[in-house]
């Protein structure tokens, strides 16, 4: 049987198209493989391929993937960056081919809230159920929860725009979106658990606190965030990354060596993991200091010696923006790890809402 590869194409008129091809190639080198000739770039990401050609007047785009979600992500990623890089030119992008404009996002599911309870004083587990959840059990741990406005019984959800970006409901139907991690998933029953850190009456916290009353939310994803293939792992994060670290630890095989450093408020926020791997786990307690104000995590990462016996290593970290910057600098500049050997992500930024 012949493989069916989904494809979409677009032509984008721009002055100096080669300039934008260079910018796209530079940007996506951070996220995947980029093959270049003078006027052409081929971008290979986890979820698909984009081929971009520059002539004197336009960029010719071709996005490909094996599944609808992958194709939608490719179209979104390429269009979003062209629109950002060429914002003064106001480029018009209209994709033709697979994945029609106006249809539901292939990476969207409406989820029923089943239950919510605290698993520690500041961590609340919300259980959701949706249809057709297999795609959410692999290729990325993270999702966006789309919280409908209060008092709306039938929410409106985003649809696919002509340029590949989602078109969001506006006005009284406006959704609030927050990024979380799927902590547990059972694709057969369609059930997923999301562990939400409760703090300061924010939209995410309020949603989790009231989720025991039921209702529906939207969910888009999954996206990035997993640890690469290795023999030795350093996993470091604050409580927002605890669901991701727990999921990674629980799927690693018995021969994996894992050093985990996790910052939480105090002992009451510690969790246990159902892991088979060799695990050296230290909890770092802030003991009342505000989240995002200490260097506990950065110091702990710097205190871990890398293995010297040639094991394949992977460093994974998620935390507040200042810690993220310090840890990423250390991993890249001091340890000089390759892109394929680390993933260091800012999970939230002190004083800034994720709007
Ligand atoms: C890839 C990824 C995965 C994530 N997974 C999870 C997860 O599984 N569980 C989880 O709880 N979070 C997770 N986060 C973090 C979460 O998205 C942010 O904390 C988000 O800001 C929460 O939204 P909110 O409505 O509570 O606060 P916002 O409205 O975004 O922010 C309001 C205020 O609260 C502050 N704030 C935000 N988060 C915290 C915090 N944890 N502690 C103290 N102050 C904070 C902000 O700085 C801001 O001042 C993840 C983030 C990313 C990028």
Of residues 295 and 213, more confidence is placed in 295
Q: Give the residues surrounding ligand 1 with Cβ less than 6 Å away.
A: 142, 178-181, 195-197, 199-200, 202-205, 225, 240, 243, 291, 345, 347-354
Instruction: Encode pLDDT of 36-64 as tens digits.
Output: 999 999 999 988 999 999 999 999 999 99
Query: Ligand 1: which of 142, 147, 202 to mutate, most ligand atoms within 8 Å of CB?
Result: 202
| Residues contacting residue 200 through CB under 8 Å, at least 6 positions apart | none
pLDDT tens digit sequence for 312-337: 999 999 999 999 999 999 999 999 99
- With the CA atoms of 277, 234, 312 and 346 taken in that order, what torsion angle do they form, in degrees rounded to the nearest 10? 130
- According to the model, what pLDDT value does residue 1 have? 45
Residue 103 DSSP label: S
Which residue minimizes the CA distance to atom 22 of ligand 1? 204
pTM for this model (two decimals)? 0.93
Q: What is the C-alpha separation between 159 and 79, in angstroms, rounded? A: 16
Asked if residue 228 has pLDDT above 80, the reply is yes
pLDDT of residue 3: 64
Are the beta carbons of 133 and 109 closer than 8 angstroms? yes
**What DSSP character marks residue 90?**
-
Angle at 139 between CA 216 and CA 110, to 5 degrees: 15
Is residue 266 over pLDDT 60?
A: yes
């Amino acid at each position: 049987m012949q493989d069916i590869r989904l494809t979409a194409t677009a032509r984008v008129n721009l002055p100096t198209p080669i300039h934008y091809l260079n910018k796209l190639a530079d940007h996506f080198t951070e996220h995947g493989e980029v093959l270049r000739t003078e006027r052409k770039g081929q971008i290979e990401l986890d979820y698909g391929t984009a081929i971009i050609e520059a002539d004197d007047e336009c960029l010719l785009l071709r996005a490909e993937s094996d599944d609808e979600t992958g194709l939608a992500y490719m179209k979104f990623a390429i269009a979003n960056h062209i629109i950002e890089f060429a914002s003064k030119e106001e480029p018009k992008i209209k994709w033709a081919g697979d994945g029609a404009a106006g249809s539901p996002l292939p990476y969207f599911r409406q989820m029923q809230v089943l239950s919510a309870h605290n698993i520690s004083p500041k961590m609340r587990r919300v259980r959701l159920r949706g249809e057709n959840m297999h795609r959410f059990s692999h290729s990325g741990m993270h999702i966006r929860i789309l919280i409908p406005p209060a008092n709306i019984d039938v929410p409106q959800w985003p649809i696919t725009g002509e340029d590949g970006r989602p078109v969001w409901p506006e006005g009284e139907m406006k959704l609030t979106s927050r990024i979380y991690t799927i902590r547990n998933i059972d694709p057969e029953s369609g059930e997923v658990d999301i562990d939400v850190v409760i703090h300061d009456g924010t939209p995410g916290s309020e949603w989790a606190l009231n989720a025991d009353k039921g209702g529906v939310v939207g969910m888009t994803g999954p996206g990035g965030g997993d640890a690469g293939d290795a023999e030795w792992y350093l996993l470091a994060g604050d409580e927002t990354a605890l669901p991701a670290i727990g999921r990674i630890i629980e799927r690693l095989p018995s021969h994996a060596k894992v050093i985990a450093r996790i910052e939480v408020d105090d002992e009451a926020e510690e969790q246990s993991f159902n892991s088979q791997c060799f695990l050296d786990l230290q909890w770092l307690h802030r003991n009342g200091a505000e989240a995002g104000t200490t260097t506990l995590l950065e110091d702990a990462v710097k205190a871990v010696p890398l293995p010297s016996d040639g094991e394949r290593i992977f460093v994974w970290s998620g935390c507040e923006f200042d810690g993220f910057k310090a840890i990423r600098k250390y991993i890249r500049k001091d340890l000089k790890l390759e892109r394929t050997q680390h993933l260091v992500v800012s999970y939230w930024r002190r004083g800034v809402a994720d709007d």
